Amino acid sequence: MAIEKQDVAAIARLSALSVGEEEAGQVAGKLNHILDVLETMQSVETDQVEPMSHPLDQVQRLREDRVTETDQRERYQRIAPAAEKGLYLVPQVIEQV
């Protein structure tokens, strides 16, 4: 499977990234290189191997259901590019419904 320019465009849209026409070609090339590596890995015999979601043979540690965080909004919003009325402001991302 090879990645074409239009696949790059689709992924870019899903990620809300702006990737130019020229750049899309380069990105496609890089992604295809990664896929080649995976292709090689695919050839390894894995029928007898149980799929593993995590490399560590450990289980999740749990937290008590107790409030440990305090309101730090002032400090956090000081470093935000834009904030008003307690809300973080971002460029409008969707078309009006």
Partner 1 sequence: MQDWEVVIGLEIHAQLTTHTKIFSGSPIAYGAEPNSQANLLDLGMPGQLPVLNKAVIPKAIRFGLAVGANIGRRSVFDRKNYFYPDLPKGYQTSQFTYPIVEDGGSLDIEVDGQTRRIGITRAHLEEDAGKSIHDAFPGMTGVDLNRAGTPLLEIVSEPDMRSAQEAVAYARKMHELVQFLDICDGNMQEGSFRVDSNVSIHKPGTPFGTRAELKNINSFRFIEQAIEFEIERQIEIVESGGEVIQETRLYDPERNETRSMREKEEANDYRYFPCPDLLPVVIEQTDIDQEARAMPELPDAKRVRYQENWGLSQEDAQMLTASRAMADYFETLVDLTGEAKKAANWVMGDLSKALNQDGLTIDRSPVSAKMLAGLMARVDDGTISGKMAKQVFAAMWAGEGHADDVIEAKGLKQITDEGAIGEMVDRVLAEHPDQVAAYQAGQEKMLGFFVGQVMKASKGQANPAQVNAVLKARLAQA
In whole angstroms, give the CA distance from residue 19 to residue 32.
17
Q: Of 47 and 81, which has the nearer Cβ to partner 1?
A: 81
If one asks whether residue 97 binds partner 1 (CB under 8 A), the answer comes out as: yes
* 84 SS3 class: strand
Q: What's the farthest any 2 CA atoms get from each other in the chain?
A: 58
In the region spanning residues 4 to 63, those forming contacts with partner 1, defined by CB under 8 A, are 10, 13-16, 53-54, 56, 58-63
Least Cβ distance, residue 11 to partner 1 (angstroms): 8
What's the length of the chain?
A: 97
End-to-end CA, the chain: 37
Q: How far is CA 70 from the centre of its chain?
A: 28
Interface characters, 66-95, with partner 1 (x: CB under 8 A): xxxx-xxx--xx----x-xxxxxxxxxxxx
Shortest approach of partner 1 to residue 45 CB, angstroms? 23
Query: Which residues sit at the interface with partner 1, rule CB under 8 A?
Result: 10, 13-16, 53-54, 56, 58-69, 71-73, 76-77, 82, 84-97
